[in-house]
């Protein structure tokens, strides 16, 4: 018997008022569809970054044509500059960007008072000055263990086991990282293997963040369901079939 993996990374259930379908702003004002739209992009970003990471390691795949006729100057410090390293760097940034999109999802779901351009994974938790570490009341009031796990993960990027990943991201995004296969190493000078290991670590952290987020929503929606008064009518979301994804 052949087994197929089933994608369970979905918003399993959500209670929305039927009036959400009664005006010209539908489907935007349907919370389930709006948040599912965010989740669709988060998952596609993850799939894309994962694909680039895998392709960068496929030694049997000839990618030399990509760099053909690209003039690379010999800077005499022996950097590794090629498409495989480029794929690694793009994959790393792709995984990291997912975290900020999760923060945007949380801001919408909990109706947090944050300006769109100020929403980041490291700061979405705090009210006022981030250095004061005052957790937002709406976040505290959920008393949700999965949200606590997501918060704990964010702290790991600040001063925990993933702190090095934040340093690498800042260097990749705002400065430069030299890939050189010899010592010594730091966040701006590292070997190709070190960058791969960091990207793989980040891929796992991003995956965990997505799962924590979905479990958080499931717990919150279960609370709402228990408190619901009056009748409800189940509506089932439609999936886009594989043949329409290209």
* Tens-digit pLDDT profile for residues 121-163: 988 999 877 777 889 999 999 999 999 999 999 999 988 889 8
Q: What does the mean pLDDT of the chain come to? A: 84
pLDDT for residue 173 is more than 50: yes
For residue 245, being part of any structural domain is answered with no
> Could you tell me the two tokens for 186?
């730091």
> Could you tell me the two tokens for 156?
């790991």
For residue 51, being part of any structural domain is answered with yes
Residues 6+ apart with CB under 8 A from 104: 38, 116, 119
For residue 12, being part of any structural domain is answered with no
Q: Is 133 left (phi over 0), alpha (psi -120 to 50) or beta?
A: left
For residue 232, being part of any structural domain is answered with no
Total domains in the chain come to: 1
Residues 107 and 119 sit within 8 Å (Cβ to Cβ): yes
pLDDT digits (tens, 9 = 90+) for 54-79: 998 887 877 777 777 877 766 767 77
For residue 27, being part of any structural domain is answered with yes
Q: What does pTM read for this prediction? A: 0.87
- Phi then psi for residue 80, to 5 deg, are -95, 110
Share of the chain above pLDDT 70, in %: 86
For residue 217, being part of any structural domain is answered with yes
Going by pLDDT thresholds of 50, 70 and 90, the confidence category of residue 202 is very high
For residue 148, being part of any structural domain is answered with yes
pLDDT for residue 4 is more than 60: no
Identify the pLDDT of residue 21: 59
pLDDT for residue 105 is more than 70: yes
For residue 7, being part of any structural domain is answered with no
Owning domain of residue 138: 18-225
């Amino acid at each position: 018997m052949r087994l197929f993996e089933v994608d369970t990374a979905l918003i399993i259930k959500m209670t929305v008022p039927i009036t959400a379908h009664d005006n010209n702003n539908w489907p935007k004002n349907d919370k389930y569809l709006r948040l599912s739209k965010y989740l669709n992009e988060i998952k596609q970003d993850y799939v894309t970054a994962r694909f680039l990471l895998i392709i960068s390691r496929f030694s049997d795949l000839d990618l030399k044509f990509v760099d053909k006729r690209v003039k690379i100057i010999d800077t005499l410090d022996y950097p590794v500059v090629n498409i495989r390293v480029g794929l690694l760097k793009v994959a790393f940034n792709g995984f990291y960007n997912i975290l900020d999109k999760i923060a945007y999802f949380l801001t919408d779901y909990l109706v947090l008072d944050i300006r769109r351009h100020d929403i980041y994974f490291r700061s979405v938790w705090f009210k006022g000055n981030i250095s004061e570490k005052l957790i937002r009341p709406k976040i505290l009031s959920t008393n949700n263990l999965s949200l606590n796990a997501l918060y704990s993960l964010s702290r790991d990027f600040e001063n925990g086991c993933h702190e090095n990943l934040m340093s690498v991201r800042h260097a990749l995004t705002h400065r430069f990282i030299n890939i050189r296969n010899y010592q010594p190493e730091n966040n701006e000078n590292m070997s190709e293997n070190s960058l791969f290991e960091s990207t793989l670590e980040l891929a796992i952290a991003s995956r965990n963040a997505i799962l924590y987020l979905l479990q958080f929503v499931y717990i919150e929606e279960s609370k709402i369901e228990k408190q619901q008064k009056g009748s409800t009518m189940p509506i089932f979301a439609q999936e886009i079939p594989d043949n329409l994804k290209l």
